Amino acid sequence: MPTTPMYRIAILLFSAIVLYSCGSKVPSSKQMNSVVTYLAGNDLMGRDTGSEGIEKAAVFLEDALADYGIDPLFESYRDRLSNSKTEAFNVVGVIEGTDPELKNEYILIGAHYDHIGVVPAKDGDEIANGANDNASGTSTVLELARYFGKNKATRRSLIFAFFSAEEKGLLGSKHLATALKDSGVNLYAMLNFEMTGVPMQGKDYLLYLTGYEMSNLAQVANSYGGSDLVGYLPRAKEYNLFQRSDNYAFWEIYGVPSHTFSTFDFENYNFYHQPGDEADLMDYGHMAEIVGRIIPVIEGMGNSTDQELKLN
């Protein structure tokens, strides 16, 4: 199969045509830009857990989910962390599935929305804005929520989760995975999005998957989203990224396919955990392409009557 940039553009345009023909709104790079610009703005002071900035981010996400017609998973959108020394909340919504039986299976789509706040100044800037880490992943999940909330549900139910305290030791995802398991939620898969704001160079795939070899999620995703959607990045295994993001708690507690999609390859971005991680460095066309390619993946997995996802 061809894997050139022109081929990827053609796939995105085709997806846009299909979505438009179904009366749906295509992924909006402008919308994603506005989300990242707000979350990574100086007013939010780097979104440190327990700060006024992350409180503003939580309100922003709550308002967006409500606007998209997505119900709270719990009594409210806020899921208070039981394992954090400071006051912290996940923001969690759900779209109930349409099938009487399959709606009792859940696909969780998540990203952490916190960052590290104020750090030692570099070139006069002390705010670690966290545009790529992880306003980009948050914007990706929020844009997916916008699509499914505004357009149509799948047979399986969809949970959209924004985790707090990831930077404190993956606390938000650990808390939510435990809470869902204790309440009897039947989790089918967990798709996590981390640092998706800048494209990789010299790769013949759009995203890599942490823990690539541990399930068939990459193969299933490529069957729905195109053969060049997901690939294997050796450095992800070298640095054990599978256990270093919010997918891991769901893998550990549920034992179901739970992986992180990312485009940070250690070579394409120089501002990890630094004040220079700014919104104007993100590639919003690239981010919209990711959403456009992931939508059919979620639709396919959400509507399949087979248990097609398997552990290896």
pLDDT in tens, 296-309: 999 999 999 999 99
Lookup: tokens for 36: 């990242």
pLDDT in tens, 217-231: 999 999 999 999 999
Crossing angle (nearest 10°) for helices 136-150 and 52-67: 20
pLDDT in tens, 120-162: 999 899 999 999 999 999 999 999 999 999 888 999 999 999 9
Total-model pTM = 0.92
Whether the pLDDT of residue 9 is over 50: the answer is: no
Distance CA 283, CA 198 (A): 6
Whether the pLDDT of residue 11 is over 50: the answer is: no
Distance CA 88, CA 163 (A): 9
Q: pLDDT class for 16, splitting at 50, 70, 90?
A: very low
In the 3-class helix/strand/coil scheme, how is 7-75 assigned residue by residue? HHHHHHHHHHHHHHHCCCCCCCHHHHHHHHHHHCCHHHCCCECCCHHHHHHHHHHHHHHHHCCCEECCC
Residue linked to tokens 């398991």: 181
In angstroms, the Cα distances linking 229 to 47, 134, 190 are 31, 21, 17
pLDDT in tens, 86-130: 999 999 999 999 999 999 999 999 999 999 999 999 989 999 999
Average per-residue pLDDT for the chain: 93
Domains with residue ranges and CATH for the chain: 27-303 (3.40.630.10)
Tell me if the bond preceding 192 is cis, omega within 30° of 0. Answer: no
Closest to 245 (Cα-Cα) out of 262, 220, 266, 221: 262
Helix (H, G, I), strand (E, B) or coil at 164: coil
Whether the pLDDT of residue 17 is over 90: the answer is: no
